[in-house]
A and B are shown apart, each in its own frame.
Chain A
Amino acid sequence: MADAALAAGTVRPVKYGSISRDRKWALRWSYFFLVLFVIFFLMPPVYMFITSIKSKAEIAAVTNPWWVYSPTLENYIELLSRNQYLIFFRNSAIVSVCVVAVTMLISVTAAFALARMKFWGSATLATGVFLTYLIPDTLLFIPLFKMFAWVRDTTGIELMNHWWTLIIIYPTLSVPFATWIMIGYFASIPKELDEAALIDGASWLQTLTKIFIPVALPGIIAATIFSFTVSWAQFLYPLAFTTSTDQLVLPVGIVTTLIKGDVFNWGEIMTGALLGAAPPLIIYAFLMDYYIAGLTAGATKG
């Protein structure tokens, strides 16, 4: 419809009345405000980038903060040649990839069972999954902290201060929503499709792998992206459960090691934050439609 409005505005001369003129002005105002909002929304990341290519001396000299007089890559070189930052990155990458794998394994099978193979209590469970999604990490970290101590006392397995512990807890954040998305996608697949497969003698597992997963692939991609971004961005659990510098993941690593006391090395902090924000941003840039599908699935399918 907006196309039509524009076409009407450009093709037809303005003399035909106020509607097309109004629309033209509405369009101009829309662009004007959109530019303002884009400036507001993009200012912090842009400022991150500006600071990241400044030298220490230039930052300390309090020149125009919005301009770079002598761009340099020294922050990037320094950060990437230091082992510590690479360890954070590696920990984050391993944790996120494992969490995605675990999440998809759990949520796709469970969603299939809940969407197609009803069993006693399955409807309640589907609702429960969604309610679980509402329970925030900020409510669970203290009892989990205590539970880890209990596990150590009874089994001798130390869960505190290990990055792999995060692989166990992050799925609590990603699985409920991923399952919810997948239930929605699976439920939208016509029943005739899997009935045909079952009549042809396919097992339930074959129906899942040969029919449901291929057909619901957009949903699976959306759920994968969601799980990845959630585990990449998670901040509270690693802050509460890991302390040694070789066990930290990126967000916590940057906040706790690059900010030491009152010494803020802003060039490096901004570089670290920008590089840390890069993986989700890159995924978003290439798979925007899936990202948005996953984002809106909760409300439109719920």
Chain B
Amino acid sequence: MADIAAQRVSTISGDQRTGLHKLMQRKSTVAFFMALPLILLIAILVAYPAGYAVYLATLNKSMTKFVGLGNFDFLFKRATFWDIVFQSCLFAISAVIFKAIIGFVVAHFVHNIPSKGQRKWRGMLLVPWVIPPAMSTLAWLWLFDPSYSAFNWILVHLGMHGIPWTGEANWARFSVILVNIWVGAPFFMIMYLAALKSVPEQLYEAASIDGATWWQRIWYVTLPMMRNIIAITALFSTIVTFANFDIVRVLTSGGPLTSTHLFATWAFKVGIESGDIPLGATVSLFMVPILAVGAVFILRDISKRGSEV
């Protein structure tokens, strides 16, 4: 572009080197200033706080004394903390697996029907993702209400007992995972649908000519072709689900007792509500490992793409 134009200028009149140099310099300076707001935003409001969180985690409760790993030590000795580690892993892993499965299955069904009707179905199926989670979780809270639960009304009319959806530890865990699946599955569906559309039709034709069953077609054609999208969607979702706050906060506030708390909700409770900012920061730092794994995979992916190009 400009380089080429500039090059052409320089070949025409060779002694304009300084002018060329100035131009190049100006271009990169302009570019830098155009990106400056972005750099400042990321530096001040993302990178600095992230580093500051690490520093905060090394202070005592009144933030007057450096305690090193004292907060971590304190957490490791508390049973509640290990419960929360377990709950966060259970929540994220099971939710992501079910979201991926449901998303994959639904994407196939949408892909199966005539394409002129797909838009309508896709439109309806994405609604849970569009509604702000805090609002839709209120609807779930009302569906799970201890005395007016609309689900229990159906169960009772079918002659069964009502379920303590948010009242009993394991049911409450089930409920928050269910709501998370409900919110997140449409995202997987839309990603997989986009991926399915990009699989060349000839591959399926070739497979059926070779006598592949529908299962073999999925296993040997669809899945390998979608591998990248499946991996990246699952990675994203795992990060987001690990860091989830809205659903648990609205649905159970971590209760009963602490049986549905995740890192994020517990960090909020400890750090903001109980006023122990360093301990809250320490808890939230436990979301970093999964983030780091995600970062490594994405960096690898980007550099791979870079070398392919």
Contacts and interface: CB of A to CB of B under 8 A. Distances in A.
A235 B123 contact: no
A183 to B, nearest CB: 11
A288 B31 CA distance: 33
A298 B112 contact: no
- Give the interface size class of chain B: 35 or more
Contact of B132 (A43, A233, A296): A233
A195 B4 contact: yes
- Give the interface size class of chain A: 35 or more
A109 B34 contact: yes
Interface stretch (B13-21, B70-78, B140-148, B161-169): B140-148
Contacts of A30: 108-110, 112-113
Could you say which of A118, A288, A295 has the most chain B C-beta atoms within 10 Å of its C-beta?
A: A295
B225 to A, nearest CB: 13
Given A48-B139, A269-B142, A299 B41 contact: no
Contacts of B5: 195, 198-199
15 contacts: A41-B185, A44-B140, A65-B153, A105-B37, A106-B41, A143-B48, A147-B49, A171-B45, A172-B45, A233-B134, A252-B134, A280-B131, A291-B126, A299-B191, A299-B233
Given A145-B272, A194-B1, A41 B125 contact: yes
B114 A2 contact: yes
Contacts of B145: 264, 266
Given A48-B139, A138-B245, A298-B236, A2 B42 contact: no
Contact of B277 (A31, A145, A198, A232): A145
A113 B31 contact: yes
A277 interface: yes
A2 B45 contact: no
CB-based closest 8 A-B pairs: A136-B243, A233-B132, A117-B31, A138-B264, A110-B38, A143-B49, A119-B28, A44-B139
A68 B52 CA distance: 53
Contacts of A143: 48-50, 52-53, 56, 281
A27 interface: yes
Contacts of B267: 138, 142
Given A44-B140, A143-B52, A254-B138, A276 B34 contact: no
Interface in B67-94: none
Interface of A: 1-3, 5-6, 26-27, 30-31, 33-34, 37-38, 40-45, 47-48, 51, 59, 62, 64-66, 105-107, 109-110, 112-114, 116-120, 122, 125, 127-132, 134-147, 168-169, 171-172, 175-176, 179, 191, 194-195, 198-199, 204, 229, 232-233, 235-236, 239-240, 251-252, 254-255, 264, 266, 269-270, 273-274, 276-277, 280-281, 284-285, 288, 291-292, 295-296, 298-300, 302
Given A119-B28, A168-B45, 9 more contacts: A27-B112, A33-B105, A37-B106, A113-B31, A142-B277, A195-B2, A195-B5, A255-B250, A281-B131
